[in-house]
Amino acid sequence: MPAIDRAVSIADLRALAKRRLPRAIFDFFDGGAEDELTLRANRAAFEGARLLPRVLRDVSKVDPACEILGLPAGRPFVVAPTGGAGIAWPGVDIGIARAAAAAGIPYTLSTNATASIEEVADQVQGRLWFQLYVLRERGFVEKLVTRAEAAGYEALVPTVDLATGGKRERDTRNGFSIPPRLNARLLLDGALHPAWAWRIALHGGLPDFASVRGYRGSRERGLALASSVGRDTDPAFDWDDLARLRERWKKKLVVKGVSRVEDAERLAALGVDGVWVSNHGGRQLDGAVASLEAMAPIARAVGGRMAVLMDGGVRRGVDALKARALGAQAVCVGRPVLYGGGAGGAAGAERALAILATELERAMQLCGVRTMAEVTPDLVAS
C-alpha cells in the first residue's frame, strides 16, 4: 500500500484515515468530549515539555528495550484498548495485536473490541492484556474475567473513569452511535468512500462486538448489544469492589483511569501491580487535567512500588522519552494505531508503530541516551 509507506508521521496516517473513512467513523475515533479541551491539553502537555540533551556521548548504538510490568519489552510502548476498531477496517483488531507482538510490546484488548478474547489469544503470539469495562450485570463481568483468565491473558485492566459515558458531540452531530445505524447520512458517506463500503460488504457487513455476546442473557449478536454495554457501565463500582477484584484476579492487575496521587497511593496499598494514568483520551470529563501533567506526581509518589503507565496525546516517539524521564514505565498508544489501522488495516498499524519506534531511537541519539536506564528526570527542563 504505497500511501502507507509514504507516511512519515502519525499526522500523515491521521490525514489518510480521514480521507479513507466516512466522516462519522473517523470522528468517532478522533473526537473527544464536549469542547475537547482535555483532548487538546493532552497533546499540549507533551509539546510544552522541553528536553535538555546531553552531548559528546557515543550514541552510535541505542537500545530502546525496557521492562513493562515486570517483563521485557522491545520499547516503552503499550497498545491501548480501542473499542470498535473493526468498523474502520474489518479484522484490524487482530492486525493491531499482531503488530504489537512483532514490536515486542503488550497489546490491550478492549471489552468492546470487534475480536473476541479467545480469537485474539488463539491468533496472536504476544503479550496480551484485557481491558475490563465494569458493567452493572456483575455476573457477566465475572464471565469476562474468567474468559480472560482461561485464555491466558497476562494482565487485567479495569477501567475506572467510566461512571457514565462522556458527551461526545461530534458523534451526536454526525448521528453516529455504537452500533452504527445505517441512516441516510452514513449511507451517503459510505457511498462517497466506496473502498471502505466494499471492505465492509466483503466481510459480511459491520463487524460483531464479539466479547459482549450474551450480555443480559440476550441471544443477539454483540453488535446489537454494544449500545447496551456502553450505557451499562456501573457507577456504583467502588474501592471495596476493586479489592474483591484484586483478590479474584491472581495475575497482574493494572487500574486505568487515574489522575490523583491519593488514588494511586491507595491502589499501591491495595496491592495493585500498576496504575494507568488516563483521562480516557479526552473522551470522558472535558476539562480534566492532561495525563502527562497528572502522571509526573503520581510517578514520584508510587513509582517505586508499582508500574506507572499513561496515555493521552502521544503522537511522536519522543513523547515516550519525555514520559520516561518524568517517571512512566511506558506510554500507551490508542489513536496512533487507530489512524494507521483506518488508513491501511494491519499494514497501517504496523506503520504507526514503526514510525514511533524510529522517532524514539532518533530522539535517544539526539538526547545522548543509549538505553532507557539513562533516561533520567534531568532530561526534561523543569
Question: Per residue in 311-320, is it b (16+ CB within 10 Å) or e — as a string?
Answer: bbbbbbbbbb
**Cis peptide leading into residue 90 (ω within 30°):** no
In the block, residue with C-alpha cell 479484522: 91
By C-alpha distance, which of 338, 380, 314 is closest to 76?
A: 314
Name the burial class of residue 210, with classes exposed (0-12), middle (13-18) and buried (19+) by CB atoms within 10 angstroms of its CB.
buried
Contact 156, 252 (CB under 8 A): yes
- What distance in Å separates the CA atoms of residue 143 and residue 216, rounded to the nearest whole number? 12
Active site residue 280: yes
- What distance in Å separates the CA atoms of residue 293 and residue 282, rounded to the nearest whole number? 14
DSSP state for residue 149 in the 8-state scheme: H
DSSP state for residue 91 in the 8-state scheme: T
- The secondary element (H helix, E strand) that includes residue 252 is strand 252-258
Indicate which residue of 23, 43, 127, 280 is catalytic.
280
Catalytic residue positions?
Answer: 280
